[in-house]
Structure 1
Amino acid sequence: MSWIVCLLLVGAQSLATPANAPVAVQASDAEVADMRDSALFRAAHKLADIHVGGTKMSSEVQATVRTQLKDQFSKMEDFQYLEGEYPGVTQVVVDAAVPIAIRQTEDTIPEFIDRLAAFFAKKMTLDEINDLTDWLTKPTIKRVRSSMDSNFDLGEIIEGSVADEDYQISADELERMTIKSAEQTVSKLSGEDIGMLVSFSKQESFKKYQSLKPQAMSIEAEWSNESTPAGEQELETAVTQAIENFTGLDLSGVE
C-alpha cells in the first residue's frame, strides 16, 4: 500500500470505541443502487458524511499530516543523512508528496461515504439517524470533533507504513488512536462542553451509534488500506523528482 495514502485517514471520530472491531458486512454496489433514492439512505448518507468529516480533508488534518510526517522523516537515517548534506530536503519531500496524497485520498472519500451510508441505513432507523445527525451538528460537538482532528497522532501509522511497504492499518490501531485523541481533547474541555457530551452520551441514538462504530472502523480500515499501482507510482515519481531537483542527485535505479 502507499505509505502516504495509508496515513491520510479522515480525522478522528466522535468518541472512543471498543477494541477488537468485528468485520462489517458491507452492502454490494447493487444494494447501494437500490437504496440510493430512499429517504433512509439519503439520511444515512448525510450521517456518513458527518462521520467522515466531508469529502475534503480538514485543514487541521492536513496540518497534522505535514507536521507528523516531517517529524517521522527526521528520525530516519536516510533522511538524516540527506538533510545533513542538503538542508531543507525533508520539507521539499513533504511539500511534494502531501498534496498528491491528499488529492488521491479525497478522490476516494465519496465511495467510502457510500459504503458507510449503506451500512448505517441497514443498521439504524430513520429516527435514530436524524436524531444522531442533529446532535453531531451542534456547535459544541463539532468543535470537539475538530479538536480531536488536531490531536490525532498519526505517528504509529507513519512509522509502520515507512518501515513496511505491506503495512496494513487495523481497526484496533484506529481505536487506540481515537482513544488517545479523545483523552487529550476531553482534558481541555470546559465544564459546559463536558455537560453537553454527557447529555449526548445518554441519547439512545448515540448508544446505537457507539455499538456500530467498531464495524464502521472496520470499514474505514479496509478503505484506508486500498491503493492503486498508478497512485503509488505517481507519489514515488513526485518524491524522486523533488529530491533530484533539490539536490542534483541522480536516483535512477535506486530502490
Structure 2
Amino acid sequence: MRALVSAGLSVILMALPMSTPAQAKAQTATESHMPAARELAELVNTATTLEMQVNKMLAGMAGHAFTADPSMAALGEEYPGVDKVFVETLRPLIMDELTRIMPEYIETTAAFFARHYTPSEVGELLSFWRSPTGRALLQSVSGNLDYASISKEAVDQLQESDTVDVSGEAMAKDRRRAAVAGLRELTPEQRKAVMRFGMTPIGRKMARLAPEKNELERQWANREPSAELMARIEEDVSQAVIAFIEAEDRKRAAAQ
C-alpha cells in the first residue's frame, strides 16, 4: 500500500537524456537561496500534475491487482466494476494524504536543489521550466508516465509479503518510457529547444544529478503511510466494496 500512497509523488524532472552518472559537488544551502529553490520544486510538482499522476497510478495498480491476485481477480470476475469502486474510493484518501505531506516533500526537494545548484543555476532552471517548451515538456512527460513497471513490481511483491519496496530500476523504466513518449509529442521546434537546453552547462549538470535525484524520489515512494490513512482505507474501501457487492446481489435477485 505504500506504493499506492506515495508513488504519485514521483513526478519526473529529469526528462532530458541522462549522461553517465558523475559525482556532483554539493554546496551549502542558504536561507536566501531557498525561496527560488522552493519555487522550482513547486513549479515541477503542481497540484494538477499530482492529481493526474495519482489517477494513473491507481488505475495501473488496480489493473495489475485485479489481474495478478487470484482472490481479487475472482472478485472482479464475479462483480464487474468493483475495481472502479476500489479506485474511486481510494483516490480522495490518497489525495488527502499527499496534500498533507506535500509541504514536506517540497521542502526536501527544494533543499536538494539549493544544495546542488547555485542561485544563478536555479534561475536558469526556473526560466526553462516556465517557458512554453518547459511547460509543454512537463505536461507531455507527466501525461505519459503510466507507472506500469512500478505497479507490476508492487503487485508482484504483495503476492509474497505485506510490504512493497519500489526499486530504482522500476522507477527508471517508467520514466524512460515517459520521457521518450513525451519528447515525441513535442513540436520539432520544441524538441530542438529541449536538446539545446540539454547541451548547456546547467542541462548537463541536471543530467549528472539525475541518479541522486532519482534516489530521493525512490525513498519518498517507499515512505510508510500514516496510521490514520491506513485506518481510513480499511474502513472506507471495505465499506464501499461491500456496499457495491450487496447492491449487485440485490439487482441479480430482483432480475430472477
83-92 or 129-138, which deviates more: 83-92
Determine the structure 1 residue equivalent to 2:139.
146
Q: C-alpha root-mean-square deviation of aligned residues, in Å?
A: 3.0
Matched letter for residue 97 of structure 1: L
* Unmatched 5+ stretches in structure 2: 248-256
Task: Give the secondary structure class of the aligned counterpart of 1:87.
Answer: coil
List per-residue Cα deviations over 1:119-155 (Å, max 9, x = no partner).
2212211101101110111112211211111111212
- Give the alignment partner of residue 97 of structure 1, picking from 83, 90, 93: 90
Structure 2 residue 233 is the aligned partner of structure 1 residue 242: no
Q: TM-score, length-normalised on structure 2?
A: 0.81
Give the TM-score normalised by the residue count of structure 1: 0.82
> Is there any run of 5+ residues in structure 1 with no aligned partner, and where?
250-255
CA distance in 1, matches of 2:22, 2:108: 16
Q: Report what 1:82 is aligned to.
A: 75
Counterpart check, 1:219 vs 2:216: yes
Bigger Cα displacement from structure 2, 154-163 vs 87-96: 154-163
Q: Report the Cα distance in structure 2 between the residues aligned to 1:162 and 1:63, rounded to whole angstroms.
A: 17
Structure 2 residue corresponding to 1:120, chosen from 89, 96, 113 = 113
Q: Does 1:203 align with 2:200?
A: yes
- Residue by residue, what CA displacement relative to the aligned partner does 1:31-61 show, whole Å, maximum 9, x if unpaired? 98xx4xx32111111122223x235644532
The ranges of structure 1 where at least 4 consecutive aligned residues each deviate by more than 6 angstroms after the TM superposition are 19-24
Is 1:189 the counterpart of 2:191 in the alignment? no
Question: Equivalents in 1 of 2:122, 2:170: separation in Å?
Answer: 27
Q: Offset at 1:91? A: 0.8
- The residue aligned with 1:252 is none
Q: What CA distance in whole angstroms lies between the structure 2 residues aligned with 1:181 and 1:118?
A: 26
State the partner residue of 1:72: 64
Distance 1:209 1:121 in 2: 13
Would you say the 8 A contact 1:186–1:194 is kept in 2? yes
Indicate the structure with greater helix content.
2
